[in-house]
Structure 1
């Protein structure tokens, strides 16, 4: 199939269930009834799936940690993919021997400084979109059979900074972010609840598709009972995503037709 290849497919598993968002999307007024067939709720990860913010993102994260805690720990060896931003701070500082009470007290300040620096860095050099992402995100956002949203480890402001710099923020109706729950798996129910509240659709896990590039994305989708479409444009190999239980694994999104079939088919 060329650059994009389907490596694995299996039937989605069963549900689980259970609100801040980016753009307005086609959202209902409070109390407004929604009728008609239920659309797919498509939940996109950001880093590695849609874009790469490049070395600048890790560099400014490091600078912020050093400014606040006096150390960035072993950030060079740390794997960011699939992690929530507050968890990254906690992991790095705990491993560096910073007391838990200090991390709890100063973690939000470290993230604020990181985000200030990130906004400046990405205004100078926009993130690089992964192959086919602009076309795919546009197609899902305008599909009458889908609601396009985010499920990401970025805190809300971080997701907005990255996606705004890439020209994609307005394509998403809402999001579940790294500051909405303590774990990635817990973000799934947050996304469902937010989707129900903002659209009026009674979404359940089986109505969702989680799209991501990391094993943590696959695990989140599995726990939610969603279909999982994984893409090997991050740091995780396609074979590892398949072993983790993704329903479909794509090498990238360069073939919009095949990617849409995987997500909405």
Structure 2
């Protein structure tokens, strides 16, 4: 699950770019001494060219054991009297705004600003209840990769591109000790379409690094086909990691630029 920004600012704009396809030269486990390259349209893109690295949260950085899904279900039960409201809902890669709108529509409830607000307020309350008390460790390789990125001689900007509500993202990442790792984020409380969150992330990156920033200098890291799709929507590159609900085979069918089983296989120097 998972548009706003915090600096970690809450502005949302749209910026549309034509997608750029890419064909992987290397796919699979990463050798830290290997210079990973991707072939674009008539050019070779080196991973060392990444100026911005944007991470998804759920299934990429952390696993909450379904805390967000349970919180959504509970808020529909307590606020709207609908039991099992999320039984037919696929959460992976979605924005919280899109989820709220779809579940309201499915059960004949008004998709209004008031109802969206009720959902978000209740969701944030129940999320605190469901985050696992006995689990505070991110997914394998996450801490080492983030530390490695910080240690680079010319480190990229490291941020978030997630469907999470910004406050939900903060609470989840603080629970796992990761919130302060990220300079800013584009979040899922405004836009229903993750591609629009990606467009906003591109705009934020250009505000920070200059309007001349090439989208191909942005690397998106995520665990769902929607992460791959939103990267394509802005012409960014994408590293797919099979630590969420989708297998490496599932992700591979969507032709990510790089595919790994977990972030243990990725070296900061390659990004």
TM bucket, shorter chain: 0.7 to 0.9
Whether 2:158 is the aligned partner of 1:134: answer no
Kindly state the Cα deviation for residue 126 of structure 1 after the two structures are TM-superposed: 4.3
SS for the counterpart of 2:29 is: coil
Match runs of 1:122-161 below 5 Å: 122=131, 124-143=133-152, 144-161=154-171
Q: TM-score, normalized by length of structure 2? A: 0.77
Match runs of 1:13-52 below 5 Å: 40-52=51-63
In 2 relative to 1, CA 193–73 (structure 1 residues): closer, same or farther, beyond 3 Å?
same
Alignment match, 2:66: 55
Q: TM-score, normalized by length of structure 1? A: 0.78
Residues 87-141 of structure 1, C-alpha deviations (whole Å, 9 max, x = no match): 111222212222334xx43112111111122134437344541111111122224
Size of the aligned set, in residue pairs, is 233
Alignment match, 1:5: 29
Residues 224-247 of structure 1, C-alpha deviations (whole Å, 9 max, x = no match): 111110000001111221211201
Show structure 2 runs of 5+ residues with no match: 1-27, 31-35, 43-47
Of Structure 1 and Structure 2, the greater helix share is in: 1
Out of 75, 85, 93, the residue aligned to residue 82 of structure 1 is 93
Contact 1:131 1:252 in 2 (8 A): yes
In 2 relative to 1, CA 11–72 (structure 1 residues): closer, same or farther, beyond 3 Å?
farther
Alignment match, 2:82: 71
Out of 228, 233, 254, the residue aligned to residue 238 of structure 2 is 228
CA RMSD of aligned residues (A): 2.6
Question: After TM superposition, which residue ranges in structure 1, 4 or more long, deviate above 6 angstroms?
Answer: none
Out of 75, 95, 116, the residue aligned to residue 107 of structure 1 is 116
In 2 relative to 1, CA 67–74 (structure 1 residues): closer, same or farther, beyond 3 Å?
closer
Alignment match, 1:185: 195
Show structure 1 runs of 5+ residues with no match: 15-36
Kindly state the Cα deviation for residue 63 of structure 1 after the two structures are TM-superposed: 1.0
Paired with 1:178 and 1:125, the residues of 2 have a C-alpha distance of 27
